[in-house]
Homo-oligomer: A and B are copies of this chain.
Amino acid sequence: MSMLSDQLLKMERHNSIFESAVRGLPLPVCAAFGDAARPRPVAFAASGRVLGTPDDDKVLASFPHSVRASGNAVLVSAKPKRDVPRGRRVAVLFSGGPAAGGHNVVCGLKHVLGPDNALFGVRPGPRGLINGNLFEITEADTARVINTGGFDFLGTDRTKIKTNAQFERVRETCVEHRLDAIVIVGGDDSNTNAAVLAEYLFRDVKPDGSGVQVIGVPKTIDGDLQIGDLLPISFGFDTATRIYGEMVGNILQDMCSSLKYWHFIKLMGRSASHVTLEVALQTKPTITLISEEVAEKKQSLAAVVDQIAQAVAARAAQGINHGVVLIPEGLIEFIPEMNALLADLDDVLAQHATEFTAVVDAEKAAFVEGKLAPANARLLSSLPAHVVQTLLAERDSHGNLQVSLIPTEQLLVDMVKARVKLIDAKAPFVAHCHFLGYEGRCGAPTLFDGAYTYNLGLTAGSLILDGRTGYMATVTHLDRGGVPRAIPLTGLLNVERRHGKDEFVIMKALVEMDSPAMRYLLSRRAAWMAADLFCSPGPRQLWGHAAHQMPVSVALNSGAESLEFRIG
């Protein structure tokens, strides 16, 4: 036993057989970076394409340095960088929820900066930048974390740098650590923050009067940070949807083995339904709900429930008593009448807080119903008791309900069960609920995410060495070799009214009803409901024939000819 226990002991601290093997996996690089074994930085040039939003004037007023410097022009990799600067000190941090591939961004940065420049890790997230918690990242570090999942190398947090005091602390961190640049790996909010920081640090930070560069890297498993052909997808989306896709495929297989269960599966992904759409395209389940479609059709909750119940009854009539329903996490917010109820509830509970607290639990629902608009009261009384309980629960500090706490999958099961009984009392309906969430954020990256993020790191590092600031790194043409580019962050900013004041935001990309991916779903969905045509995507492979896949929705939306991605 001693040889084996020795092997087991060595596997502790991120040394599973898989983790050890995957560290040696070669990663392809875009032709622009030269040799994959020793990637070199590129220089960038304006591509002639200029971005803008209806709020350009307000953006110019608030971001004068950044806009004047970039002209909001998209950059494209032009030629190998000559006279590569030395002695640059660059910091990198993760912001927001974890996503697979973050570690490879760091590795790409480290490799392209090379031994003549220094890379520092910030722990954890923006909070670490405010607190000045930095450490130098070594080659040994990157050799250890390459191709591993999670953000645990640096940690992450959700601090939004917004007060003057916070900006001042960040400037102090830059001065104290003599930083030349900061790379922020994050989603839409974090990249907005990167734009604000780029403007704030544009000049007068260093003794010579120059500034600190800020570059964003597009991360989010939700897929809601997409910008047409300039940013086909954020990193982490592929890995998360392949993890969820495998689990949904397994459950579909179980459904056809056990022949007696309906599975209602809620999928993480915040407001947008990109994750659900992608998992549906991978697996072909019985029923797929897409929030954006529900909103566009202005469906009521009863209509959504009836649609599922009719399918249950129709399949039962053919002796099929099983199925899988995919539910996007944000569904509830996209049902107009539910939105109205939630807003009304927030108001009523805020206005009658003291009285409400005094009412005994059993009578709280009746008390509230008396105060709601009649349509809202009717809707509330139609909901299962456990959901009503959640809706009447404590509000957060803003007086809002956390919609993610509503167990949409259980709500639908309860209401579908009642509805099925009315349609066909004899139709069997036994349902299980699932929520696939956290397990998808920190899995080991797919080959797609691993290669994509490594090249995003190479791109971000190249932008820094090329003296750029206020850009988001991107790699386009993912099915045709890959082209490093840079998106001017100020070209993406819109103004949104939040809590009574203007705020700059990068708009979340929702699923578009006329996108090729959505149209493909619509063209096959009825067939998938009528018969079990699913396939099982299986565990993601890092070696062998099944390793070179890109997300189906990305392939469809970018007009790719196959699911094979090609970088290099």
Contacts and interface: CB of A to CB of B under 8 A. Distances in A.
A467 interface: no
A457 interface: no
Interface of A: 1, 3-5, 7-9, 11-19, 21-22, 94, 97-98, 124, 148-152, 155-157, 243, 246-247, 249-251, 253-254, 256-259, 263, 281-282, 284, 362, 432, 434, 438-444, 516, 520, 524, 533-546, 549, 552, 555-556, 559-563
- Specify which of A13, A14, A516, A520 lies most central, judged by the most chain B CB atoms within 10 Å of its CB: A14
A17 B549 contact: yes
30 contacts: A4-B555, A7-B563, A11-B535, A14-B534, A15-B535, A18-B539, A21-B545, A21-B546, A98-B254, A148-B536, A149-B253, A150-B254, A150-B257, A155-B258, A156-B258, A253-B442, A253-B443, A254-B441, A254-B442, A263-B438, A432-B438, A443-B539, A444-B536, A444-B538, A539-B539, A539-B541, A542-B544, A543-B544, A543-B545, A544-B544
A249 to B, nearest CB: 7
A16 B282 contact: yes
A256 B441 CA distance: 12
Nearest to A360: B362
Contact of A12 (B250, B284, B561): B284
A150 B322 CA distance: 15
Contact of A16 (B257, B441, B535): B535
A249 B544 contact: no
Given A21-B545, A539-B542, 14 more contacts: A1-B556, A4-B561, A11-B535, A18-B546, A21-B541, A97-B258, A98-B258, A149-B538, A151-B258, A246-B539, A254-B438, A257-B441, A263-B438, A539-B540
Nearest to A10: B535
Contacts of A22: 538, 546
A442 B546 contact: no
Contacts of A247: 439
A282 B16 CA distance: 8
A338 to B, nearest CB: 24
Contact of A556 (B4, B155, B432, B541): B4
A404 to B, nearest CB: 12
Contact of A4 (B256, B282, B560): B560
Contacts of A97: 258
Contacts of A546: 17-18, 21-22, 542
